[in-house]
Structure 1
């Protein structure tokens, strides 16, 4: 098999931030003649507070977005509580926030509730944050690690229990693996990251993963931790530990390369973006609902299929003009070249493509206040 080595997440993020080339499209500004009112150079100065909550995976990117946006709209405060995707969707649907961040698209029941919250104009779901979910590990003396989909499933299903197990050794013939016990760490809270990870296992691991995809971890036992930061802390604090988390949060932990076709592919922004480009939009949803059906079982060279696409979810029609203006302008900034640059620098995320930006802009342009 063709092998590509893993890297430390810090080096990955630094390289990505230095190398990303984002296509200009997106939000309006005074120089390009687009008068949609969104984007990094919006002529109109706004004031007020925008409230969001949701995916913890977006936390680093949101810090970048908030910092960059404050330079454009100094009178606007954007609050974001990284309580997890499930909590973010719940609060938004209940009317407690202006928008949600979610690592999973709304399901049918949530879509029905969203119609009650937002009215007949419906919602937007925009895939504004694209990042690999890294399989992170802490194993002394092992700096590079290859794992096939079936082995990843076996480890997290607690069927492969030591690091020198023959299944792991087969993927790593040149690595001296210790007989250390494996301690898998999963999320304890309902999580879009968990849902994305288990969706991958269902699609790619076959019978090695006999569970359904879910935002709630389906395997009892093991070690559980709250939020992305909790998983990272638990893996860091242990020895022989392994978990899953957004690549931007991996820090100094080991990051595994994952078997894809005849290769082992390390997570990167480029490899994550490649999977999104090879995926299709879900059918049968609203006009501005751009949720994606990810190609988890891809065997394409250079694709990394354990990818997280995190959405921003909001109403097309808000009850008051101030909220509509703030959501329109902030989301316009997020999808702009400057906004995607800010996320890349803060989180090492992949840029959205020109096609995704143009698609998202149609939703931003449609945001309005009820008459």
Structure 2
């Protein structure tokens, strides 16, 4: 996959609504200045779609919804998408229980949950469709330190409690010329079941040279720190706590005006940005090439040593039934996702995400078109 910067940016998309990342809402009627004239979304099916899950994609979902409302208004139809950013684990659970139409998840649905989702989908597979890419920031709050460099090894030891002070020799060695305080490190982690946690722990497993022994999973396994709910919760915790650090999507770090550590993969320190995350994502393979289920294999991405590539990224999936919806739900889900994968991507870079490349849009669009067939 070759990631490209989006050339067309929509204007302001109801940033006031986007900033409210703590709870879901049925009111997504904010206006959008996007050019919706070329949209291929049909706006057919039921008027209201329900979804829940990843808080990492909450800001993107607000943008998708604002654009979709504008698309359907142009076609003379009133629609809405109620998205609750309750965490990836909760989203998958609600999807399996048929409480929502689709789930947002920073981890692909798998194993026992995939089997349960198949039952929900009337004996058909659930598909993982990645619509949102984003870099994960190691966001910190250290008075007087605007530039901090970490690597996989030091990050793992911070988040498992092996490194306890900011002026630890291992951190100091990566930050020559920077005065680091003799201050305790306060770790914030996601208290809810989180795909961001799973991705972060996968990164630590791949990049820490054995320093991270807790493994991966949606629950934090570092054994230390303070828990906070959702991406907004950990970001706000760091913003109000000097000496603290967390893992959180760049969009939330930016919203809270937090500094983000550079990551040294062995080829120099790399700042978190759309460009550096795109470089890391560029060669990420699918787990099952040729399948309509588009789960990604990120292990090689997390372990990259390519110069200028920021390795700590995540892909957020929309988990849908390949078949098994009633006709009205099939049409509505297809229509919304069609808009999200096309005109919905236009302003994601402004929100701290990485827009889908054109070639990747084609692959995702093919899966969306196959829902219900």
* TM-score (ref. length: structure 2): 0.85
1:283 to 281, 284, 288: 288
Q: Is the 8 A contact 1:22 1:340 kept in 2?
A: no
Kept in 2: contact 1:47–1:73 (CA 8 A): no
2:160 to 154, 157, 161: 157
| 1:334 paired to 2:340 | yes
**Mapping of residues 103-182 of structure 1, within 5 Å:** 103-182=106-185
Note the C-alpha offset of 1:355. 2.5
Does the alignment pair 1:348 with 2:352? Answer: yes
Q: CA deviation at 1:256?
A: 0.3
2:323–2:372 contact (8 Å) kept in structure 1? yes
**C-alpha separation between the residues in 2 aligned to 1:278 and 1:142?**
34
Between the aligned partners of 1:332 and 1:217, the Cα distance in structure 2 is: 34
Q: CA deviation at 1:120?
A: 4.3
Q: For each residue in 1:77-102, what CA deviation from the matched residue of structure 2 results, as whole angstroms up to 9, or x when unmatched? A: 10000000000011001111100000
SS of the residue 2:114 aligns to: helix
* Counterpart check, 1:311 vs 2:310: no
TM-superposed deviation, 1:331 = 0.4
Instruction: State whether residues 66 and 78 of structure 1, in contact with CA within 8 Å, keep that contact through their aligned partners in structure 2.
Output: yes
Does 2:264 correspond to 1:259?
A: yes
Q: Secondary structure at the match of 1:51?
A: strand
Tell me what 1:27 maps to: none
Q: Which runs of 5+ in 2 are unaligned?
A: 10-37
Indicate the residue corresponding to 1:15 in structure 2. none
Residue 50 of structure 2: SS of its match in structure 1?
Answer: strand
For the 8 Å contact 2:196–2:218, the answer to whether it is kept is yes
Q: TM-score, normalised by structure 1?
A: 0.86
CA distance in 1, matches of 2:190, 2:229: 6
Equivalent residue, structure 2, for 1:95: 98
Distance 1:22 1:356 in 2: 17
Q: Is the 8 A contact 1:22 1:351 kept in 2?
A: no
Contact persistence 1:189–1:227 (CA under 8 A): yes
**1:58 is matched with which residue?**
57
Match of 1:321 in 2: 327
| Pairwise CA distance, 1:357 | 0.9
1:214 and 1:43 mapped to 2: Cα distance? 38
Counterpart for residue 28 of structure 2: none
Q: How far, CA to CA, are the matches of 1:209 and 1:264 in structure 2?
A: 21
Give the whole-Å Cα distance in 2 for the aligned partners of 1:166 and 1:120: 56
Unaligned runs of 5+ in 1: 1-18, 24-38
| DSSP-derived class of the 1:143 partner | coil
Q: Does structure 1 residue 236 correspond to structure 2 residue 230?
A: no
Cα deviation, residue 269, structure 1: 1.7
Please tell me whether the aligned partners of residues 159 and 224 of structure 2 are also in contact (alpha carbons under 8 angstroms).
no
What SS is found at the alignment partner of 2:248? Answer: strand
Report the Cα distance in structure 2 between the residues aligned to 1:358 and 1:185, rounded to whole angstroms. Answer: 38
Aligned partners of 1:273 and 1:351 also within 8 Å: no
Residue by residue over 1:157-199, the C-alpha shift from the partner in whole angstroms, topping out at 9 and shown as x without a partner, is 1111111111111000021111111111111111000000000
* Shift, 1:323, TM fit: 0.7
Give the match for residue 4 of structure 1: none
**Structure 1 residues 277, 226: CA separation in 2 closer, same or farther (over 3 Å shift)?**
same
How many residues are matched?
334
Once the two structures are superposed, what CA deviation does each residue of 1:257-312 show, in whole Å capped at 9, x if it has no partner? 0012221111112222222221111138x932100011210111121111011001
